[in-house]
Amino acid sequence: MSPPLRQSVGPAVVLVLMTTICCFASQTLKEPLAPSAIIPAQSALPHYAEIMKILSDLEYDGIQAMSRPDVTLTVDYHQKTWTLHHIHQYNQQGYVQLEQGHYGLCAKLTQYVYDRIYPILKDDYVIKFAQTEEPTFFSTGTSSHYILALIRKSDSEIYLIDPSFHKYGTQKDFAKYRFMDIKDGLAMFMNRNSNMTYEIGQARPLFIRNGLLVSFSLQSVNGKFDKDNVVFAISVDRGDEVKPRNVWVVGRCQGALRVLAATALMDYMNSEERQMLYGKFMTWLKEI
């Protein structure tokens, strides 16, 4: 059986969704709601127990996928992009798979939850993918943090699900989120893409741990980007910093191997994760 086709909805429903979200976003500039006003009544949320059971089993994590032996990396020095190959896997029915059944980043987690809840909600709700700015770690103008919007067909009431943070509630519970776009589906999974391409300097999250977002990227060296000047970088973002800080750099500078590590690196990832990544970095350096 193939994954369900995206639900087509009339212009009126889409307009209601966008208008409601936009109107609500403007209200977030006012005084914050009292705590008692933003705690959802669980019984009022559709299929609360079933949906929370699905969410509770998920973990925001991109390092598990990178650790697979079949995941490779290539670089286009002319276009200044890098690509992770085989980073997404699909089962025989065409559904995206999570690493070890639990791990993934926001887009994959959101797609997974969509595939799980569609059968139980399709008769009464339209389900949309919302591209948002999440206030803690994903608040840049180019954010690709995805959540789900459930629109009840009978009265256009809207409920929201953020699989990455196990969050499910009404619009009031997402008061600090900024909505950027509404989609019928995520093209990468609708097209069964296995690869992901990034620009130089664009980070791919690895995990959130102890209030820190740890990410991976490819970077230039002193403004140069070629086979002799390219580094893998692990950066840390505390959420309140203007720019993430590199804590580990492995690569080539003017053709020579460069390895720089902050003394606090051990605080951000365990020895198994460091060994796995270092092995990947050294293998990929030989190939790029």
Q: What is the pLDDT of residues 246-256, one digit of tens each?
A: 999 999 999 99
| Shared domain check, 35 and 166 | yes
Number of domains in the chain: 2
Lowest-confidence range among 2-16, 39-53, 89-103?
2-16
Name the residue range of residue 211's domain.
200-287
Q: Do 105 and 247 lie in a common domain?
A: no
Q: Are 195 and 85 in contact (CB under 8 A)?
A: yes
Residue 117 sits in the same domain as residue 46: yes
Whether residues 230 and 161 share a domain: the answer is: no
Do residues 126 and 211 share a domain?
Answer: no
Q: Judge whether 67 lies within some domain.
A: no
- Residue after which a domain boundary falls, among 137, 170, 190: 190
Question: Does 171 share its domain with 249?
Answer: no
Residue 15 CB neighbours (<10 A) = 11
Q: Please answer whether residues 66 and 123 qualify as being in contact, where contact means their C-beta atoms are separated by less than 8 angstroms.
A: no
Same domain for 40 and 182, yes or no, is yes
**Mean of the per-residue pLDDT values of the chain:** 85
For 130-143, give the DSSP string. EEEEBTTTB-STT-
Average pLDDT over residues 8-14: 44
Average pLDDT over residues 85-90: 97
CA distance 42 to 64: 33
> Averaged over 103-132, what is the pLDDT?
96
Long-range contacts of 27-36 (CB under 8 A, 24+ apart): 27/175, 28/175, 28/176, 32/175, 33/172, 33/175
Tokens of 168: 């499910």
Q: Are residues 139 and 52 in the same domain?
A: yes
Q: What is the pLDDT of residue 143?
A: 56
* pLDDT value at 8 more than 90: no
Q: Quote the CA–CA distance of 26 and 30 in Å, as a whole number.
A: 8
Residue 73 inside a domain? The answer is no
* 236, 211 contact by CB (below 8 A): no
End residue of a domain, out of 128, 156, 190 = 190
Based on the domain organization, do 29 and 171 belong to the same domain? yes
Q: Mark whether 152 and 257 lie in a shared domain.
A: no
- Supply the CATH number for residue 100's domain: 3.10.620
Higher model confidence: residue 85 or residue 263? 85
Q: Considering 125, 156, 190, which residue would you say is the last residue of a domain?
A: 190
Answer yes or no: pTM beyond 0.75: yes
127 domain-assigned: yes
**Do residues 38 and 134 share a domain?**
yes
* 266 lies in some domain: yes
The 10 Å Cβ neighbour count of residue 160 is: 21
Whether residue 3 lies inside any domain: the answer is no
What order of strands is seen across the sheet that includes strand 145-152?
167-170, 158-162, 145-152, 125-133, 178-183
Do 165 and 225 lie in one domain? The reply is: no
With the C-alpha atoms ordered 231, 234, 237, 238, is the resulting torsion angle positive or negative? Answer: negative
For residues 161-187, give the mean pLDDT: 93
235 lies in a domain?
A: yes
87 within some domain: no
153 touches 124 (CB < 8 A): yes
- Look at 27-31, 43-47, 70-74 and tell me which has the smallest mean pLDDT: 27-31
- Please, what is the Cα angle at 102 between 146 and 238, to 5 degrees? 55
101 within a domain of the structure (yes/no): yes
Whether residue 30 is predicted with pLDDT greater than 50 in this model: the reply is no
